[in-house]
């Protein structure tokens, strides 16, 4: 039988009753002969609770020493989850053993709160699988070369699961969430959104990077790099659903692009309200300016997304870019205290009430006029575009946050995503 990795999100692990149902589901797969590895998240709300306690004691924990302690604190949520799930499986008569990331070990770099996985030792996992045990491994965390516990950033359990699947050469990685697959957009914004039976890895990567909360982007990157078969499905279907039916449910993320996919010009609408825009006005228009601005931001370990440099006037230009909203205050301070004086810029401006809305689809490769159709749909609803970013299979716009839901609904209609799939 197959070697399978299951990943369960915080909602799926949100109470002892839900953990008991997860155990029954995993035991069902194990009794069918599958070798099982499980990567659960912390119980719903637990990581926020733990970090909230830390914030009460040190509200601005940005230096490495403080972030090391944040990782120490946050990692305990998953350790509770794996221990509880192991007990629940043992209560089902299924041998199981739990491990923290450092026990496997899952080795990472030392970028606290945003660590990246470097390697996973599969020896202990395989030994337990050979002994007939279900192996349960904490998501979201690992250990660096100095022996310090690290965490991978919010949503990091998805990345852990796919990385473990890659390391042990699993036949498939099943991501169980509180939704039953990947939708054309968030059904809470557009009730007519429909579930996709399949989505290409390329499209899923764009959707994740653009704000879709179904999968963390690094988990999709891992899946693509190591070609890990990935499926997103619901943990709230009855645990005793027929296994063959369950194994084909949800949305399959595929590496094969078929004709049916290409017929759909746009497959989905992604959006992200956790963005902020900053602009530095009147910088010298000369080689190296972009590096001087963005290099300082990169040194602060802050991601930059959409970038625009305006046309030069009298040897000066304006430079705008977007950053995660959580980093907005730090970026503004960095630009005002360091970059602006060094460059002799005239002013630094910011807007923390913007969002990004994107259309994604492999069919955009072979169809013209897609961006124009997007812009027309937005203009008809009186939505002004502040910034534009494109790639081969996506077009993104930055707009005022208050128009986000209106824009998503307008684009969903414009590209006929309400219609049932053919």
The model's confidence at residue 257, banded by pLDDT at 50, 70 and 90, is low
Range 144-148 average pLDDT: 97
For residue 258, what pLDDT is reported? 55
Instruction: Give backbone dihedrals phi and psi of 183, rounded to 5 degrees, phi first.
Output: -105, 165
Q: Give pTM, 2 decimals.
A: 0.81
pLDDT at 249 over 80: yes
Task: Tell me the per-residue pLDDT of 314-357, one tens digit each, with 9 for 90 and over.
Answer: 889 999 999 999 999 999 999 999 999 999 999 999 999 999 99
Range 96-121 average pLDDT: 96
Q: Are 356 and 396 in contact (CB under 8 A)?
A: yes
Task: Tell me the per-residue pLDDT of 281-305, one tens digit each, with 9 for 90 and over.
Answer: 999 998 998 999 999 999 998 999 9
> What residue ranges define each of the domains in the chain, with the CATH number in brackets?
3-256 (3.40.1160.10), 268-414 (3.30.2130.10)
pLDDT at 422 over 50: no
User: Average per-residue pLDDT in the chain?
Assistant: 93
Task: Tell me the per-residue pLDDT of 186-238, one tens digit each, with 9 for 90 and over.
Answer: 998 999 999 999 999 999 998 888 877 788 888 998 899 999 999 999 999 99
């Amino acid at each position: 039988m197959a070697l399978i990795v299951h990943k369960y999100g915080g909602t799926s692990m949100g109470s002892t009753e839900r953990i008991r149902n997860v155990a029954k589901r995993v035991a069902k797969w194990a009794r069918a002969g599958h070798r099982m590895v499980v990567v659960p998240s912390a119980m719903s709300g637990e990581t926020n609770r733990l970090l909230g306690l830390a914030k009460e004691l040190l509200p601005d924990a940005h230096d490495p020493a403080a972030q090391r302690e944040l990782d120490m604190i946050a990692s305990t949520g998953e350790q509770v989850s794996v221990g509880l799930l192991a007990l629940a499986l043992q209560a089902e008569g299924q041998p199981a053993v739990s491990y923290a990331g450092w026990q496997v070990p899952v080795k990472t770099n030392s970028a606290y709160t945003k660590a990246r996985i470097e390697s996973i030792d599969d020896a202990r996992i395989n030994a337990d699988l050979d002994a007939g045990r279900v192996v349960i491994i904490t998501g979201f965390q690992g250990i660096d070369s100095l022996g310090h516990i690290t965490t991978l950033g919010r949503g990091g359990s998805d990345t852990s699961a796919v990385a473990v699947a890659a390391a042990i050469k699993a036949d498939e990685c099943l991501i169980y969430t509180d939704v039953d697959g990947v939708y054309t957009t968030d059904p809470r914004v557009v009730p007519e959104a429909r579930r996709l039976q399949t989505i290409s890895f390329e499209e899923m990567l764009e959707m994740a990077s653009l704000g879709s909360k179904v999968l963390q982007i690094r988990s999709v990157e891992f899946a693509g790099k190591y070609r890990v078969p990935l499926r997103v499905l619901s943990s709230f279907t009855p645990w005793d659903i027929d296994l063959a039916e369950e194994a084909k449910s949800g949305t399959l993320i595929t590496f094969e692009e078929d004709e049916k996919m290409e017929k759909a010009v746009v497959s989905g609408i992604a959006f992200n309200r956790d963005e902020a825009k900053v602009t530095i006005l009147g910088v010298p228009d000369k080689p190296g300016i972009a590096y001087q601005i963005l290099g300082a931001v990169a040194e602060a370990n802050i991601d930059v997304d959409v970038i625009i440099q305006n046309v030069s006037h009298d040897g000066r230009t304006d430079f705008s870019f977007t950053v995660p909203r959580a980093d907005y205050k730090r970026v503004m301070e960095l630009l005002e205290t360091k970059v602006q004086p060094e460059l002799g810029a005239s002013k630094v401006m910011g807007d923390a009430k913007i969002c990004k809305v994107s259309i994604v689809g492999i069919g955009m490769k072979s169809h013209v006029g897609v961006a124009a159709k997007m812009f027309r749909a937005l203009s008809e609803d009186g939505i002004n575009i502040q910034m534009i970013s494109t790639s081969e299979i996506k077009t993104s716009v930055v707009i005022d946050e208050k128009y986000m839901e209106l824009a998503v609904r307008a684009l969903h209609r414009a590209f006929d995503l309400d219609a049932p799939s053919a």
